[in-house]
Amino acid sequence: MTDIAVTVLPVPDSSGVGGDVWGVGPATRAVEATGARAVELGDETQMIVVGGRVDQAELRRAIDEHPAVSVVQLPSAGVDSYVETMRATRRDGLVFTSAKGAYSAPVAEHALALTLATLRSLPLRARADSWEQEQRGISLNGSRVLIIGAGGIGTELLRLLGVFDVEVTMVVRTPREVPGAVRTITAEGLAEVLPDMDVVVVAAALTDGTAKIVGRAELEAMKPTAVLVNIARGPLVDTDALVAALAAGSIGGAGLDVVDPEPLPDGHPLWDEPLALITPHQANTNAMTEPLFQARVEENIRALADGGQPVGVVDVDAGY
């Protein structure tokens, strides 16, 4: 039991609906499970839990006008849409926490599924309406995999790949070793390693420095048989360059759970690209993430109550 006062946003309207509020239920259950107090936003609020889409101006006011708030829990692993709010409201004693790491397992699982599907030419096979004689497909075993991003999703995918006979290179923000990877590089080394890779997985956070980290030059450097998988954020990949690379057959395929723009408009050339497999940003569905979000909120309520370090603290300057 704890006396921590927690406000969950957004507040549903009189009909019980408040827009995108998938996380309100799990957050409310977390408050109940920890014995914290669910309170309306006010002077006693110590923690704000964002359980769905909120107006950023309203969130800024909620933080600025309530100095007792010391933790703001955000609902997603990627926090690019909250960066301006976090930077505008920073103050001593206030931390922002995200769900980074909480959703790693389902997203990494989806990344593996897209990897296997694109290597095995399933996008093309799924569109077929006759029996093809040409043999297609590449085995993941014995391949070289590049994972751009060594956060929760990237490291979980590295673990899943452990059952395959693969060599994994990890791209990290600052030089460090990642257990299980044959080597780590920074983004400056991409041009050197891309020509050797069979699979390139984008699992990085979207920041000012990582937008279009896979662009025309990177796609041109890849093998014609190599596949690209993006399960992070659409703007990490230059969409126009990807469309051109797929149309030219200069890469072997693409598995995309995220795109830019998103949602991908009807009639966009990616929909008709036989080498592309697109899923509608559902690597982690609500049914998958709700219990994981609840567990994260519970953990951080207890950390606040015990004076400990919350999990998933955001580096506001870095943007993730």
Q: What pTM value is reported for the model?
A: 0.92
* Better-predicted residue by pLDDT, 203 or 208: 203
Other residues' Cβ atoms within 10 Å of the Cβ of residue 235: 19
Q: Which pair of tokens denotes residue 12?
A: 């549903």
Round the CA-based radius of gyration of the chain to a whole number and report it: 21
Catalytic residue, chosen from 44, 262, 273, 290, is 262
pLDDT digits (tens, 9 = 90+) for 67-124: 999 999 999 999 999 999 999 999 999 999 999 999 999 999 999 999 999 999 999 9
Please count the other Cβ atoms lying within 10 Å of the Cβ belonging to residue 188: 8
Q: Quick: pLDDT tens for 259-268.
A: 999 999 999 9
Of 1-5, 245-249, 291-295, the one with minimum mean pLDDT is: 1-5
Confidence of residue 237 (pLDDT cuts 50, 70, 90): very high
Residue 20 pLDDT grade (very low, low, confident, very high; cuts 50, 70, 90): confident
Q: Is 233 a catalytic residue?
A: yes
Active site residue 281: yes
Q: What proportion of the chain, given as a percentage, has pLDDT over 70?
A: 97
Q: Is 110 a residue of the active site?
A: no
Determine the pLDDT at residue 13.
Answer: 59
pLDDT over threshold 80, residue 16:
no
* Catalytic residue of the set 233, 296, 298, 299: 233
Least Cα distance to 276 among 232, 235, 244 occurs for 244
- Give the chain's mean pLDDT: 95
Pairing between strand 253-256 and 144-148? unpaired
pLDDT at 62: 97
